[in-house]
């Protein structure tokens, strides 16, 4: 297997010199210097059971992650703003014995960090160090990353992502998006999630495309990267794209791009349409999870329909099942739980056989916990989470995403989140939380939805809010509603 971060036009025996291969917030490294800096750090960490990286948006993070891949040491990305409790859990649970830090502040006496009673050495990441050392290519099934993901309950779980899954996923997306070394990738995403790290860094390294990371993902910085760096491929989350859609000058600056990709949360239809109007590009949407990487995507050469996420990428299969595990028809309207199988799946959870058992079926399919519809042509529409977005009301199965889409079609609605709330007679009632312009009334929105969808899908309650609770990736936190 070709090493995860090696582009297709060079072997590991010929590093080459892709000048300006990585630029982050104005600082850059050529590909040759990046490889040499990673090799120098790999010499220091080789043999460790795992290394944690304080994953700031920096060249240091890229060097550290590449060093782990080269040395065959699992890398544990640590959110740079993690609080003490989250940090201590991740570091203690992962078994990392080294903490790689761009700007370390170690114990002045011992030069070590201590968490959960275990001391670990802090290692400074030096992007100016150089080495020509070579390392054996890790086995394909070796663990490359341990990514921590939070569920609705309990502490975050470590997801074991092997080298082969990353390679398969990036290659599949390169095929879907016609992504090559000729592209210039632009984004400003965090470097401790699948979107920003696996796609946004390792994807660029493997395809050989130049990466320009904007630091902060502001409309002005995206526009500047388009003008100055010749950006062709832009990644963003809906929050980023929404802000760009509200800044016509910045949006129009992206007209020369080749592809705009949105992910990590559903892209509101009005934002999709506004981007298409201003940039001339209909965004590509894709779907995935930490446990599966990116499994479904609109293709660059395919139809881009707002509210849909395309078809399974190469090497991935999907299916829908009902509450009893029976197949749900792919008719574009029937809702079921989405299950995934294929080469991009993780190896499960670190030291959590209980979570593995709950998440994987007996025949090896991953239970995403998301509900979806699949059209006869294979196009997927994600309705939402089964736990919060599949509403069972009066014998009907209602997808929250469909109702949210109907609300967002109202010209006065800016944001909407729909949940099912307990109801003595119906089991659950449809409740909508809406951010709307002044003068928009709740009853007006209820009637508006009833005029576009089946009457049983109308919100029985509409709660007007000034903003919806969101996490760092822009996803609405529905557990905080109600």
Please, what is the angle between helix 31-45 and helix 59-71, to 10°?
60
pLDDT at 16 over 50: no
Superfamily of the domain at 283-385: Luciferase; Domain 3 (2.30.38.10)
Q: Is pLDDT at 12 greater than 90 in this prediction?
A: no
* Coil, strand or helix at 366: strand
Q: How confident is the model at residue 406 (pLDDT cuts 50, 70, 90)?
A: confident
Report the pLDDT value the prediction gives residue 480, as an integer from 0 to 100.
85
Query: How much of the chain is helix, strand and coil, in % rounded to 5?
Result: 30, 30, 40
pLDDT band per the 50, 70, 90 thresholds, residue 8: confident
pLDDT digits (tens, 9 = 90+) for 34-73: 999 999 999 999 999 999 999 999 999 999 999 999 999 9
CATH code for residues 394-480: 3.30.300.30
The per-residue pLDDT of the chain, averaged, comes to 89
Task: Assess whether pLDDT exceeds 90 at residue 264.
Answer: no
The pLDDT score that the predictor gives to residue 108 is 44
Q: Please determine, for residue 107, whether its predicted confidence score (pLDDT) is greater than 60.
A: no
Q: Architecture of domain 22-216 in CATH?
A: 3-Layer(aba) Sandwich (3.40)
User: For residue 145, is it left (φ>0), alpha (ψ between -120 and 50) or beta?
Assistant: beta
- pLDDT of 150-200, one tens digit each? 655 567 899 999 999 999 999 999 999 999 999 999 999 999 989 999 999
Checking if the pLDDT of 104 tops 50, the result is yes
Distance (Å, whole) CA 60 – CA 35: 12
Burial of 324 (0-12, 13-18, 19+ CB in 10 A): exposed
Question: Domain residue spans in the chain?
Answer: 22-216, 283-385, 394-480
Type and span of the H or E element at 440 = none
115-124, 147-156, 303-312 — which is least confidently predicted?
Answer: 115-124
Q: 33: helix, coil or strand?
A: helix
Percent of the chain exceeding pLDDT 70 equals 91
Q: Give residue 452's pLDDT band: very low, low, confident or very high (50, 70, 90).
A: confident
Pairing of strands 51-54, 75-78: parallel
pTM of the entire structure?
Answer: 0.83
């Amino acid at each position: 297997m070709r090493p995860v971060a090696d582009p297709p036009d060079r072997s590991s025996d010929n590093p080459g010199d892709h000048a300006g291969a990585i630029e982050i917030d104005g600082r850059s490294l050529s590909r040759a210097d990046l490889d040499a800096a990673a090799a120098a750090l790999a010499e220091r960490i080789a043999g460790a059971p795992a290394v944690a990286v304080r994953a700031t948006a920096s060249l240091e993070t890229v060097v550290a992650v590449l060093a782990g891949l080269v040395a065959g040491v699992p890398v544990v990305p640590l959110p740079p703003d993690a609080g003490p409790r989250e940090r201590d859990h991740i570091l203690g649970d992962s078994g990392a014995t080294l903490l790689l830090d761009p700007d370390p502040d170690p114990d002045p006496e011992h030069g070590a960090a201590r968490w959960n009673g275990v001391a670990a050495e802090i290692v400074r990441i030096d992007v100016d160090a150089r080495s020509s050392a070579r390392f054996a290519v890790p086995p394909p099934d070796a663990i490359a990353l341990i990514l921590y993901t939070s569920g609705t309950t309990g502490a975050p779980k470590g997801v074991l992502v092997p080298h082969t899954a990353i390679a398969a996923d990036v290659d599949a997306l390169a095929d879907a998006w016609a992504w090559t070394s000729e592209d210039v990738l632009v984004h400003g995403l965090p470097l401790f999630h699948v979107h920003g790290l696996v796609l946004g860094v390792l994807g660029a390294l493997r395809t050989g495309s130049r990466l320009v990371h904007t630091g902060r993902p502001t409309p002005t910085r995206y526009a500047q990267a388009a003008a100055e760096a010749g950006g062709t491929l832009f990644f963003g989350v809906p929050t980023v794209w929404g802000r760009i859609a509200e800044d016509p000058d910045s949006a129009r600056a992206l007209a020369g791009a080749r592809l705009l990709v949105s992910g990590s949360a559903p892209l509101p239809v009005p934002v999709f349409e506004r981007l298409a109007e201003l940039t001339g590009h209909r965004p590509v949407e894709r779907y995935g999870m930490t446990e599966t990487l990116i499994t479904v995507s609109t293709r660059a050469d395919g139809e881009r329909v707002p509210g849909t996420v395309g078809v399974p990428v190469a090497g991935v299969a999907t299916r829908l099942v009902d509450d009893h595990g029976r197949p749900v028809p792919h008719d574009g309207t029937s809702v079921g739980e989405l299950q995934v199988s294929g080469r991009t799946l993780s190896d499960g959870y670190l030291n959590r056989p209980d979570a593995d058992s709950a998440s994987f079926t007996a025949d090896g399919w991953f239970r995403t916990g998301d509900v979806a519809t699949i059209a006869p042509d294979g196009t997927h529409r994600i309705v939402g989470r089964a736990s919060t977005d599949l509403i069972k009301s009066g014998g009907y199965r209602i997808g929250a995403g469909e109702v949210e889409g109907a609300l967002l079609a109202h010209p006065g609605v800016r944001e909407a989140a729909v949940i099912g709330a307990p109801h003595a007679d119906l089991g659950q009632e449809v409740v909508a939380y809406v951010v709307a312009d002044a003068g928009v009334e709740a009853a007006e929105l209820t009637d508006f939805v009833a005029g576009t969808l089946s009457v049983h899908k109308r919100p029985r309650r509409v709660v007007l809010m000034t903003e919806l609770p969101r996490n760092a990736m822009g996803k609405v936190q529905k557990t905080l509603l109600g």
